[in-house]
């Protein structure tokens, strides 16, 4: 009985994950594109695809009236050649796991006076186990959430002509 359940689960999981890739692309006017893409936080990868099928990857997009500039490959794509922009979530694992301890401990540490070095040292020594505990407690949740975001399909934005 358990072997049948395992086989069924093994067959259903890829099917369930592939259903989310069937999302329709959203068509957006050029003027609304920077707002739709959102803030450049560095936690996403962008793929700009041209009408000819060429793809350019970057972590930063700079929009102008004439087109899009990609920061890393130092390339500009004219606005009339852009077919779509794909946005995929990407945060380094270490950053994801360090967020929970930082949210708890950094405000406590920074709230101390800069002149009181002894208090900072004592607080740092006392906060280290707290940060470790918070990080370990949050790790399973962070792994599930971050893993799910990485498996999610890229958001596709079609550029209106």
Q: Chunked in runs of 10, what are the mean pLDDT values of the chain (161 residues)?
A: 64 55 72 81 84 89 87 82 88 77 74 70 79 83 82 86 74
What pLDDT does residue 113 have? 65
What pLDDT does residue 33 have? 85
Q: Which residue, 109, 92, 97, is CA-closest to 136? A: 97
The domains of the chain are located at: 24-90+152-159, 93-149
CATH, domain range 24-90+152-159: 2.30.30
What pLDDT does residue 15 have? 55
C-alpha–C-alpha distance, residues 92 and 95, integer Å: 5
Q: Copy the structure tokens of residue 43.
A: 């936690």
What pLDDT does residue 1 have? 57
C-alpha–C-alpha distance, residues 78 and 97, integer Å: 38
This model's pTM is above 0.75: no
What pLDDT does residue 13 have? 55
What pLDDT does residue 10 have? 60
User: Any bridge partners for residue 57, and if so which?
Assistant: 47
What pLDDT does residue 22 have? 52
Exposure string of 116-139, with b = 16+ CB inside 10 Å and e = fewer, is: eeeeeeebeeebeeebeebbeebe
What pLDDT does residue 161 have? 74
């Amino acid at each position: 009985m358990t072997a049948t359940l395992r086989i069924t689960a093994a067959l259903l999981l890829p099917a369930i994950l592939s259903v989310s890739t069937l999302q329709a692309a959203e068509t957006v006017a050029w003027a609304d594109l920077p707002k739709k893409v959102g803030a450049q936080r560095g936690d996403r990868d962008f793929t700009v695809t041209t009408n000819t099928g060429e793809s350019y990857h970057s972590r930063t997009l700079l929009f102008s009236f004439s087109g899009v500039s990609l920061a890393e490959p130092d390339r500009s794509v004219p606005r009339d050649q852009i077919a779509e922009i794909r946005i995929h979530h990407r945060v380094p694992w270490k950053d994801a796991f360090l967020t929970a301890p930082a949210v708890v401990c950094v405000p406590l540490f920074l709230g101390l006076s800069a002149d009181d070095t002894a208090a900072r040292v004592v607080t740092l020594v006392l906060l280290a186990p707290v940060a470790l505990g918070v990080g370990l407690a949050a790790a399973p949740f962070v792994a599930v959430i971050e893993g799910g975001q990485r498996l999610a399909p890229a958001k596709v934005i079609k550029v209106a002509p």
